[in-house]
Copies of this chain bind each other. A is one copy, B any other.
Amino acid sequence: MTVSRALRDPDKVSAKTLEKIKAVVDRLGYVPDPAASALAAGKTNVIGVIVPSVTNNVFSDVMRGIYEAAEGSKWQIQLGNSRYSPLEEESLVRTFLSQKPAGLILSGLDQSEETSKLLMGADCRIVQIMECGPDPFDMMIGFSHVDASAAATRHLLDAGYERPGYIAARLDPRSQRRLAGFKAAAEKAGVFDPARIVTTPRASTVTLGCELVADLLSKAPQTDAILCNNDDLALGALFECQRRGLRIPEDIGLCGFNDLEMMAAANPPVTSVRTFRLAMGREALRMLTGALAGIEPETPVVDLGYEVIARQSTARVG
């Protein structure tokens, strides 16, 4: 019993005993059994993280933030991949909950009915990431996708483009909200034309960016700017426009979303909407572990905002 205390909370043991214990632990190479601990205590140091994709750059940055913030602490990150499927998400939540986790980090606002039920009854802290919305299960950190893409749209219009189009792949809930933001801003400016929207359920790739641009330009050749649902598509769009001899930004403007590192290095550099993915992961974990330590966040919902990074690809001359 004293050993158990010494290892978990050294202050509760006299210095002398502590020393003795440490020596023996070292000599024997003793390592506590987490399973026995979990069984006896009825809880674990596991923090479950569920993301829709482990390949997508966006989520890998968030994951990195989470791992960095957890580094060296007692918290164990456990990663689940829902592959954009609400059913797989539900199954993962079930699995995680059976492990009596200390906390759960989920992506987005659109959990299924069943998942919501599980989460409401869950005896752990929860952080939703990637978006901001009105009704967090517990805590939330992200930004408004509608606002961010509306801002990007206005940037295109302010730059002098008059017939903006939109390309998107895999319409997950966040993509749909970005599309809605574009539509709202374009309608407000009186430049919305559904013929200039091209989408597909396929997953985003650079190649797909090329194809979507080809589609868009054949359907609506007058398009003079393209807002891309993410930077992979934007890179494809850049390549495809250049292959067609279109000058960027003179003939056509280009804007991405997320501001991956490559956008600044491109030729020409591509305008994008910066999002704070590393910080989001880091802060999500901090909110969670803080709450577990009894320190509640000032507000349950944290909006990290976004920033339109204007570059040459939308710097129309004249």
Instruction: Name A's B-contacting residues (CB within 8 A).
Output: 31-36, 38-39, 44, 54-55, 57, 60-61, 63-64, 67, 71, 76-79, 81, 83, 88, 94-95, 97-100, 205-207, 209-210, 232, 235-236, 239-240, 242-243, 261-262, 264-267
Contacts and interface: CB of A to CB of B under 8 A. Distances in A.
Contacts of A71: 88
Contacts of A33: 39, 98, 100
A4 to B, nearest CB: 15
Chain copies in the assembled complex: 2
B32 A35 contact: no
B98 A81 contact: no
B267 A239 contact: yes
Question: Which 3 pairs show the lowest CB-CB distances between chains A and B?
Answer: A35-B38, A206-B262, A206-B265
Contacts of A264: 207
Contact of A267 (B67, B94, B242): B242
Interface centre among A44, A64, A267 (most CB of B within 10 A): A267
Nearest to A61: B55
A35 B31 contact: no
Given A35-B36, A232-B262, A239-B267, 5 more contacts: A35-B44, A71-B88, A77-B79, A210-B265, A235-B262
A71 to B, nearest CB: 8
Contacts of A266: 206, 239
A248 to B, nearest CB: 12
A263 to B, nearest CB: 9
A36 B39 contact: yes
Contacts of A31: 94, 97-98
Nearest to A38: B35
Nearest to A31: B98
A303 to B, nearest CB: 24
A77 B99 CA distance: 14
Nearest to A54: B63
A99 B46 CA distance: 12
Contact of A81 (B67, B76, B83): B67
Contacts of A88: 71
A63 B79 CA distance: 11
